[in-house]
Amino acid sequence: MARAAALLHLLRSQSHRHVSKTTSLAYHCFRSSICQRAFIPNPTFNTSSHLAVFQKRWASQSPTTEEDDKISIGPQNGGQLEEGGKETGVVYYGPISNTIKKVKLLSLSTCCLSVSLGPVITFMTSPDMNVIMKGAVASTVIFLSASTTAALHWFVSPYIHKLRWQPGSDSFEVEMLSWLATSIPKTVKFSDIRPPETNRPFVTFKANGNFYFVDAEHCHNKALLARLTPQKGSHESAFKNL
């Protein structure tokens, strides 16, 4: 009886040891498989290729950001473009159009600041000055700022920024700038074009009481340029024939 009990106890201890060894072996195998899966490199992920793609994207975007801060000459990438990269129907671009627009915006901003802050600064910085003198100084500052802005607008108002024309048409559309530096489209007929007959600078022709300027060096359509720059003698002979 004692031997049977001892034999039963020995079998139980051996079975417990076997189960514990099997459990620990299974745990280690499962843990090692998980670690191996975690550290297996992804064959589809290539660091060098992703870095090269990022460098190409940065190189393609960096020149555009640098060019936006510069004063550009010629057309910008705005509006509806054709496959050739030009806007539909546009045959002439003002070479300094963007520069004129930026200068006008700068002049308008300084004029607004002078009108709004000039009197305040004058009355606050000189408390001992006479009120009449303060008003005279503030009025002078406002007058000078407004006069320079008006003179700039008068000087560049005939400038044509864009000209749209279809060959065979008897009219064309020009894009001008208002005194607020906003675009104003105008339609002009060739029959209304007259010689300017003025000493005003930068004027090419006159139509419907307004002056217009086209840079002849940047107008590549010579036939159109000839129609935009009429000679005074031709109009006089035409009237004589009538």
The residue-averaged pLDDT of 156-177 equals: 93
**In which band, very low, low, confident or very high, does the pLDDT at 12 lie, cut at 50, 70 and 90?**
low
**In which band, very low, low, confident or very high, does the pLDDT at 124 lie, cut at 50, 70 and 90?**
confident
More confident residue, 45 or 6: 6
More confident residue, 72 or 150: 150
pTM, two decimal places: 0.59
Secondary structure of 147-212 as H, E, C letters: HHHHHHHHHHCCECCEEECCCCCCEEEEEEECCCCCEEEEEEEHHHEECCCCCCCCCCEEECCEEE
